Chains A and B, each alone.
Chain A
């Protein structure tokens, strides 16, 4: 998503160009939706989170000074909105994951068999991530998928940094146990 074009749009939007802001939305909303859906786990909820996110971005854009990348700033706001949304709804049940339509995937087409195998693993991983409790899932997605630092995650989710770390380790452990159910000896042989 990050490009010189986005930077230019951000600059223009900051100076009040509404057309530039709309273009910025056009260029970023799929990524924002992707993160929102991964955090809240439900399409309708993700749509609400995305709308709320852009409202906050619109209000706060003048305060954005470019110290972080725009995409990082957008991720933070999305995470915060998703957290607020989940808290407000108080809904923590797990719903079946809708089929994930893939738009763009960095995938080598050199080896079709390998390609299919990797795609299968990714689907399995997406399902496993979705099945995590929202509190664990949010930390895992923000840290291990989007690379946000622990202190940022703690701030956006309104928890302590140590709580964020504990949740992350629990989430990783659950995922590993789910995705690698074989005995250890078999795993060693398989590798």
Chain B
């Protein structure tokens, strides 16, 4: 029995759910190299299991993002309505400001024209 053959099976049985074939198990009993490899797999699996207790922290915004996505349609609708209202008022304000600015420009040009005529 070659170590290479057994080596392929060790990764499969390291968690103890499956067993090595009898002839492989016999080989491992007498082979320090395969015993070491099996011990490494077991150590690795213990370390992987321990990772489950290790939590990775997202930034503070993730929770808000999730809750936004989940917000019931009524409140989404309300938000949209609020958004539309804000946009409407903003547009109205911008149009008023543009109108006022235009009126000032026209008034200034008219005044300049009158001055030229007077002189």
Contacts and interface: CB of A to CB of B under 8 A. Distances in A.
A146 B52 CA distance: 6
B49 interface: yes
Contacts of A4: none
A175 B48 CA distance: 10
A187 interface: yes
A69 interface: no
Nearest to A190: B36
A191 B54 contact: no
Minimum-distance CB pairs A-B, first 4: A144-B48, A106-B53, A169-B11, A172-B11
A191 B45 CA distance: 16
B54 A140 contact: no
Contacts of B35: 188
Given A58-B70, A184-B36, A165 B12 contact: yes
Contacts of A125: 44, 47-48, 51
Interface in A17-33: 18, 21-22, 25-26, 29-31, 33
A159 interface: no
A22 B39 CA distance: 45
Interface string B42-81: 0011011111111111100011011101101000000000
Interface of A: 18, 21-22, 25-26, 29-31, 33-34, 37-38, 43, 46-47, 50-51, 54-55, 58, 100-106, 121-122, 125-126, 129, 140, 144-147, 165, 168-170, 172-173, 175-176, 179-180, 184-185, 187-188, 191
Contact of B66 (A46, A54, A180): A54
Nearest to A22: B67
Contacts, number: 123
B65 A47 contact: yes
A87 B87 CA distance: 39
B32 interface: yes
B56 A101 contact: yes
Contact of B39 (A147, A168, A191): A191
B36 A122 contact: no
Question: Binding site of A, secondary structure by majority: helix, strand, loop or mixed?
Answer: helix
28 contacts: A18-B72, A21-B70, A25-B63, A25-B67, A29-B63, A30-B55, A33-B62, A50-B66, A51-B65, A101-B57, A103-B55, A103-B56, A104-B55, A105-B53, A121-B47, A122-B54, A126-B51, A145-B48, A147-B52, A169-B12, A170-B11, A172-B11, A176-B44, A179-B40, A179-B44, A180-B40, A187-B36, A188-B36
Contacts of B14: 172
A57 B77 CA distance: 22
